[in-house]
Chains A and B, each alone.
Chain A
Amino acid sequence: MKPINHHLNDTLLMGYATGNLPEAFNLVVATHISLCDECRARMHSFDAIGGALVDRAESAVLDKGSLAATMALIADDTWQAPVMEHPAQPGVFPAPLRDYAGGDLDNVKWRRVGGGVSQAILKTSGKATVRLLKIPGGVAVPDHGHSGMELTLVLQGAFRDETDRFGAGDIEVADDDMVHTPVAEPGQDCICLAATDAPLRFSGFLPRMAQKVMRI
């Protein structure tokens, strides 16, 4: 595993553990955790709070024959537990992202959005949105502010903004008072997974026009 310097914060990890994040954020969190054992361990510790709560919860009265009905469910071979399995595979995208992108990096259908930047919007439910971004080395993403929270996870290459450098596996969590201009480092294309729970605010007139077209 590569060294990761920028991690998920506790609010996101707890939101993920409690099931209170929008699907688009869940995808970014699950993808980062796939790359980061530190955050995986932190996630499990937030899950442990849920375990302690369930263990100490008061009991509800079960229906008569509840255990027998459960055993019948288990005996029914046609019934499948609705839980996804996620084996690791070689490539750029961790398993949860593959499910949404329809494969690895090579399978992404990019759409150019100007300035050399390309994107692919991934389908999720709810108000928050998530997209893959491809930024050629040395190219900047337009200066933008946020009215909500934005998560940007680097999958390949690296970018810098006013705050720091972000390499593969690093996640930047930007809130509503941050205005930043991420610039991809020279060299390899920078591939990011970015989610927002509100539209971005671009600083200039032209980017605002572009925003309507780009849906960002």
Chain B
Amino acid sequence: MFTATDTFSNADALAFRPSYDGGKRAAARVKAKGKVSVTDTAKRIEWTAQLAAVRDRQDQAAFAEIFSHFAPRVKAFLMKSGSSPSFAEECTQEVMATLWRKSHMFDGTKASVSTWIFTIARNRKIDMIRKDRRPEPEDLPWGPEAEPDQADVLALTEETELLGRALATLPEKQRNLIERAYFGDLSHSEIAAETGLPLGTIKSRIRLALDRLRHAMS
């Protein structure tokens, strides 16, 4: 069973700040070889750190790491949604460029880096393939005085990790249905929203972070 104690102690969680330290963390990953859960979570937290490095210092090396992991996956996602390889390539480059340009908008208490990349890719898909406008909810009033709480970021990272694992262990038929919904060939009347995935805990985490934000803003 994957729990917080398998990966980071609470002290570690509170001490964590999204700073990018180049190769050091990668070295730690090698040491932790064999403990897959440690590696996976460390990697996901690193994406947050690398995105912060892009946001704060326009760090090209950090961006290149995010790119090499996510760009091939975004391209695969777009191709599965029906794009030709050349069109998917073009969209992927735009998605990754948007990630750079909007890095100041990223909020780790509401989405992991992979989730955020998914939403950018999805919006690009709607924009370019369906030619529809996509109305987005109003932005929440983030200010510089309301920096996301890093314990919230870590908690959401772990919940997202659990969700990924649950997805991997779903019966194939059910996972296929979810993939078809997300890769875009199911209409809303065909969607079976009963996923069998543990969304309640993720929702509660985000809800808590939203409540804190509202409280800080009032």
CA distance A69 to B75 in the complex (A): 15
A54–B97 CB distance below 8 A: no
Encode contact with A along B97-138: 1 for CB under 8 Å, 0 otherwise.
110111000000011101111111111111100111111111
CA distance A57 to B80 in the complex (A): 10
Can you list 27 A-B pairs with a CB-CB distance of less than 8 A? A1-B214, A10-B194, A11-B191, A23-B134, A26-B135, A34-B137, A41-B207, A45-B199, A47-B115, A49-B163, A51-B111, A53-B183, A54-B74, A55-B73, A60-B72, A60-B79, A61-B72, A62-B72, A63-B89, A67-B68, A70-B97, A74-B101, A82-B98, A83-B102, A85-B139, A86-B138, A87-B139
B193–A21 CB distance below 8 A: no
CA distance A97 to B79 in the complex (A): 32
Known contacts A14-B193, A34-B137: A50-B210 contact under CB 8 Å = no
A20–B191 CB distance below 8 A: yes
Q: How far is the CB of A180 from chain B (nearest CB, A)?
A: 20
**A162 lies within 8 A of chain B by Cβ:** no
**Across-interface contacts of B202 in A (CB, < 8 A):** 44-45, 48
Q: Closest residue to A9 on the B side, CB-wise?
A: B193
**Across-interface contacts of B89 in A (CB, < 8 A):** 62-63, 66
Known contacts A53-B167, A62-B71, A74-B100: A45-B184 contact under CB 8 Å = no
Neighbour of B138 across the interface among A41, A43, A96, CB < 8 A: A96
Encode contact with A along B125-162: 1 for CB under 8 Å, 0 otherwise.
11100111111111111000000000000000001100
**A161 lies within 8 A of chain B by Cβ:** no
**A209 lies within 8 A of chain B by Cβ:** no
**Across-interface contacts of A213 in B (CB, < 8 A):** none
Residue with the greatest number of chain B CB neighbours at <10 A, chosen from A22, A30, A81: A81
Q: How far is the CB of A173 from chain B (nearest CB, A)?
A: 12
Of the 9-residue stretches B7-15, B16-24, B26-34, B174-182, which lies at the interface with chain A?
B174-182
A25–B188 CB distance below 8 A: yes
CA distance A46 to B202 in the complex (A): 9
Which residues from 69 to 100 on chain A have a C-beta closer than 8 Å to any C-beta of chain B? 69-71, 73-74, 79, 81-88, 94-97, 99-100
**Across-interface contacts of B68 in A (CB, < 8 A):** 67
Neighbour of A52 across the interface among B140, B167, B203, CB < 8 A: B167
**Across-interface contacts of B137 in A (CB, < 8 A):** 30-31, 33-34, 40, 43, 86, 94-96
B135–A20 CB distance below 8 A: no
Chain B, interface size category, equals 35 or more
Which residues from 179 to 209 on chain A have a C-beta closer than 8 Å to any C-beta of chain B? none
CA distance A59 to B96 in the complex (A): 15
**Across-interface contacts of B186 in A (CB, < 8 A):** 18, 20
Known contacts A20-B191, A88-B139: A44-B111 contact under CB 8 Å = yes
**B94 lies within 8 A of chain A by Cβ:** yes
Q: Closest residue to B139 on the A side, CB-wise?
A: A86
Q: Closest residue to B202 on the A side, CB-wise?
A: A45
CA distance A37 to B71 in the complex (A): 31
A18–B136 CB distance below 8 A: no
**A177 lies within 8 A of chain B by Cβ:** no
Residue with the greatest number of chain B CB neighbours at <10 A, chosen from A21, A49, A85: A49
CA distance A18 to B70 in the complex (A): 19
Neighbour of B75 across the interface among A51, A52, A62, CB < 8 A: A62
Q: How far is the CB of A18 from chain B (nearest CB, A)?
A: 5
**A125 lies within 8 A of chain B by Cβ:** yes
**A38 lies within 8 A of chain B by Cβ:** yes
Known contacts A42-B203, A49-B197: A27-B135 contact under CB 8 Å = yes
Q: How far is the CB of B88 from chain A (nearest CB, A)?
A: 7
